[in-house]
């Protein structure tokens, strides 16, 4: 196997490339608040950038601060989330905004432990906000970053199943010492994986670190190691039924009876089960008049 590319050379090359290649994503602008960064990180989870951009703009226009969102009922957050998917993220973002108001005077905290203590904020989101909103030197690892490291450093086509401890250590070993360069590299590695070092059709001829890429030097061998579990197909799944029920609840602005929800899915027992999961997750509330979005 070829020698690993020196971490400093790899980071510098990727950062230099990023200076011209970075997409002008709105949450990357210098005047974006930490709240804007936090909202973007919630929205970008398992959702394509193109779908997030208009929703992010609309959200911040309506709720430019955590206090603005916290003062609104959770039902409005779920409605505004619209069809971004995984609407529990809207509830968690609302709860995070409430916690920011109650614990931090309405300002997104910069300390990693304080961020991790916010509802709905996990290790990735906390590190991303600390790094991108406040410039703190923390490794930030997403799926794209893991793929870049797997290919450039490990010589593997795919990174295999994620491991928070292993992935953070691998990124930490590449992270520049200076805070500003580290912040840039976190974003640049993600961008490289999203736009050049893609999963199915990597553009190796356009890659700024191709000359030192262990996978490319090895002849781009096919990956034969363990793989992450694939998500079940959407059509006919409980996720699809949840989406159909949530669409009706968002549009109604009043409780809907169980009979009114019959049209969403023909299998009554599955529909009952899905409605029960929505109630359990806090996305729907059962009352004497039927089912509605949560108001508190």
In three-state secondary structure terms, 234 is coil
Q: Which helix (H) or strand (E) holds 292?
A: strand 290-292
CA distance 83 to 57: 15
Q: How far is CA 119 from the centre of its chain?
A: 15
The Cα angle at residue 229 between residues 185 and 53, in degrees rounded to 5: 45
Known catalytic residue: 61? no
Among 15, 20, 23, CA closest to 48: 23
Cα angle: 47, vertex 53, 56; to 5 degrees: 95
Q: Provide the terminal-to-terminal Cα distance of the chain, rounded to the nearest Å.
A: 58
User: With the CA atoms of 139, 143, 145 and 149 taken in that order, what torsion angle do they form, in degrees rounded to the nearest 10?
Assistant: 110
CA distance 117 to 125: 11
Nearest-angstrom CA–CA distance, 51 and 42: 13
Given 12, 41, 157, 248, the catalytic residue? 41
Distance separating alpha carbons of residues 177 and 211, to the nearest angstrom: 23
In three-state secondary structure terms, 256 is strand
Give the distance from CA 186 to its chain's centroid.
Answer: 14
Residues annotated as catalytic are 41
């Amino acid at each position: 196997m070829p020698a690993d590319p020196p971490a400093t050379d790899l980071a510098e090359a990727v950062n230099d490339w990023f200076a011209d290649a970075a997409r002008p994503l709105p949450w990357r602008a210098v005047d974006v608040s930490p709240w804007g960064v936090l909202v973007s990180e919630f929205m970008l989870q398992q959702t394509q950038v193109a779908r997030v951009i208009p929703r992010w703009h609309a959200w911040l226009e309506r709720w430019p601060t955590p206090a603005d969102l916290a003062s609104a009922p959770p039902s409005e957050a779920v409605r505004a989330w619209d069809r971004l998917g995984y609407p529990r993220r809207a509830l968690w973002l609302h709860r995070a905004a409430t916690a920011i108001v109650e614990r931090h005077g309405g300002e997104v905290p910069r300390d990693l432990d304080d961020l991790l203590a916010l509802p709905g904020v996990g290790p990735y989101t906390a590190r991303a906000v600390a790094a991108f909103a406040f410039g703190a030197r923390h490794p930030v690892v997403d799926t794209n970053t893991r793929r870049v490291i797997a290919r450039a450093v490990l010589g593997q086509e795919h990174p295999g199943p994620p491991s928070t401890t292993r992935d953070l250590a691998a990124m930490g070993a590449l992270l520049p010492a200076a805070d500003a360069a580290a912040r840039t590299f976190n974003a640049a590695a993600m961008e490289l994986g999203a736009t050049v070092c893609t999963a199915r059709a990597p553009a190796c001829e356009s890659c700024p670190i191709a000359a030192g890429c262990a996978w490319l030097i090895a002849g781009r061998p096919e990956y034969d190691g363990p793989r992450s579990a694939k998500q079940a197909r959407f059509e006919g799944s409980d996720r699809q039924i949840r989406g159909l029920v949530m669409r009706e609840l968002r549009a109604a602005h009043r409780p809907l009876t169980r009979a009114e929800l019959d049209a969403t899915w023909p299998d009554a027992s599955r529909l009952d089960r899905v409605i029960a999961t929505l109630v359990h997750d806090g996305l729907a509330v059962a009352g004497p008049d039927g089912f509605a979005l949560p108001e508190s």
